[in-house]
Chains A and B, each alone.
Chain A
Amino acid sequence: MRTVKTGVTRRSVLAGIGAGAAATLVAPKMALADKAATDEAIAKLAGGAKVQEGKVKIQLPQIAENGNTVPFTVSVDSPMTEASHVKAIHVMAEGNPSPQVASFTFTPTGKATVSMRLRLGKTQDVRAIALMSDGSVWEAKQEVKVTIGGCGG
Chain B
Amino acid sequence: MLTRRDFLQVAAAAAVLTGGPGLARAAARQTITQDALLEFKPVGQVTLLNFTDIHAQLMPLYFREPSVNLGVGAAKGVVPHLTGKDFLKAYGLKAGSPEAYALSSEDFSGLAKSYGRIGGLDRMATLVKAIRAQRPGNTLLVDCGDTWQGSYTSLKSRGEDMVDAMNALGVDVMVPHWEFTYGEARVKELIAKLKFPFLAQNVKDTEWEEDVFPHTAFFDKGGVKVAVIGQAFPYTPVANPRYMIPKWSFGVRDEEMQKRIDAARAQGADLVVVASHNGFDVDRKMASRVKGIDVLLTGHTHDAIPGVVKVGDTLLVASGSHGKFLARLDVEVKDKRVVNHAFRLMPVFSDAVTPDADMAGLIAKIRAPHQDVLGKVLARTDGLLYRRGNFNGSFDDLICQALLAERDAEIALSPGFRWGSSLPPGADITMEDVYNQTAITYPNAYRSEMTGQLLKDILEDVADNLFNPDPYYQQGGDMVRVGGLSYRIDINKPIGSRISDMTLLRSGKKLDAAKTYTVTGWASVNEGTEGPPVWEAVASWLTKKKVVNFGDNKTVKVVGA
A→B interface (CB under 8 Å)? 59, 61-66, 71, 123, 143, 145, 147-153
Contacts and interface: CB of A to CB of B under 8 A. Distances in A.
Contacts of B239: 149-153
A148 B521 CA distance: 15
Interface stretch (B104-112, B188-196, B361-369, B476-484): B476-484
28 contacts: A59-B255, A62-B251, A62-B252, A63-B235, A65-B237, A65-B242, A65-B251, A66-B242, A143-B473, A145-B473, A147-B464, A148-B457, A148-B458, A149-B239, A150-B240, A151-B239, A151-B475, A151-B477, A151-B479, A151-B480, A151-B523, A152-B236, A152-B475, A152-B476, A153-B302, A153-B417, A153-B418, A153-B475
Contacts of A63: 235, 238, 473, 475
A59 B255 CA distance: 10
B238 A65 contact: yes
Given A65-B237, A123-B495, A145-B464, A151 B416 contact: yes
B250 interface: yes
B462 interface: yes
A63 B416 CA distance: 18
Contacts of A145: 464, 473
B139 interface: no
Nearest to B472: A62
Contact of B233 (A59, A62, A152): A152
Nearest to B246: A66
What are the 10 tightest A-B residue pairs by CB atom distance, in nearest-first order?
Answer: A152-B239, A153-B477, A150-B525, A152-B477, A65-B237, A152-B475, A148-B461, A151-B415, A153-B418, A62-B472
B209 interface: yes
Given A66-B237, A153-B302, 12 more contacts: A62-B252, A65-B249, A143-B473, A147-B465, A148-B458, A151-B239, A151-B462, A152-B238, A152-B240, A152-B465, A152-B477, A153-B417
A47 B523 CA distance: 51
Contacts of B457: 148
A59 B254 CA distance: 11
Interface string B244-287: 00000111100100000000000000000000000100000000
A65 B523 contact: no
A145 B466 CA distance: 13
A142 to B, nearest CB: 10
A145 B477 CA distance: 16
B523 A150 contact: yes
Contact of A153 (B251, B416, B525): B416
B209 A71 contact: yes
B524 interface: yes
A151 B417 CA distance: 7
Contacts of A148: 457-458, 461-462
A153 B238 contact: no
A147 B525 CA distance: 12
A148 B458 CA distance: 7
Contact of A149 (B233, B238, B473): B238
Contacts of B251: 61-62, 65
A123 B465 CA distance: 12
Interface in B409-434: 415-419
Nearest to A148: B461
Nearest to B479: A151
A65 B457 CA distance: 18
A153 B495 contact: no
A81 to B, nearest CB: 27
Contacts of B209: 71
A88 B419 CA distance: 50
Nearest to B470: A62
Contacts of B250: 65
A148 B351 CA distance: 44
B475 to A, nearest CB: 4
Contacts of A123: 495
Given A61-B251, A62-B252, A153 B237 contact: no
A123 B238 CA distance: 14
Given A63-B238, A65-B237, A71-B249, A153 B480 contact: no
Nearest to B496: A123
Contacts of A150: 239-240, 415, 523-525
B447 interface: no
B204 to A, nearest CB: 9
Contacts of B415: 150-151
Contacts of B237: 65-66
Interface in B446-495: 457-458, 461-462, 464-465, 470, 472-473, 475-480, 495
Contacts of A152: 233, 235-236, 238-240, 465, 475-477
A145 B464 CA distance: 10
B407 interface: no
Contacts of A61: 251
B383 to A, nearest CB: 25
A148 B477 CA distance: 14
B301 interface: yes
Contacts of B158: none
B478 A153 contact: yes
Contacts of B233: 152
A147 B249 contact: no
